[in-house]
Amino acid sequence: MKQLTMKFLAVLALIPVTIAAGPDKTPPAYQKGTITGYETRLHNKNRRAKVYELKGADRIYEVDICGAFQTGKFEPGQAVDYRVMGERLYILRDDGKEYNCKIEGSRTLDSEKTDSSTTH
């Protein structure tokens, strides 16, 4: 009986370690894309913003309001790693952090017209 109690206590001692470790944090999966260009647009009648075009494997995204992304960190033809979550597009920076961009519109590679209602 003593031996069974000791095993039970040993198992109980491991439970807090497992809980403290928390869930497995899998890093997000990024896709490869290319900044193909940008245009300057007037936002809110008083602010000009660069709207960048990012070509991915199956879609072309128009993105802006990216914080430091707006300061010209990227040039046309530059390859980037990105991921899409809802109405936001995240571009991986060299330091491992992300630029958090608003998707203004997107279209499939074979479509001619930007469709703002088809954002991912």
Would residue 2 count as lying in a domain? no
pLDDT band (50, 70, 90) for residue 18: very low
Would residue 8 count as lying in a domain? no
Q: HSE of 37 in the Cβ direction (CA atoms, 13 Å)?
A: 2
* 49: Cβ contacts below 8 Å, ≥ 6 apart: 40, 41, 43, 64, 65, 70
What are the tokens at 10? 């040993």
Q: HSE of 106 in the Cβ direction (CA atoms, 13 Å)?
A: 21
Mean pLDDT of 1-6: 56
Mean pLDDT of the chain: 77
Q: Which pLDDT score, from 0 to 100, does residue 19 have? A: 46
Q: Which pLDDT score, from 0 to 100, does residue 48 have? A: 79
Task: Write out the residue range of the structural domain in which residue 62 sits.
Answer: 31-118
Would residue 1 count as lying in a domain? no
Site of tokens 């990227």: 74
- The total of structural domains in the chain comes to 1
pTM above 0.85, yes or no: no
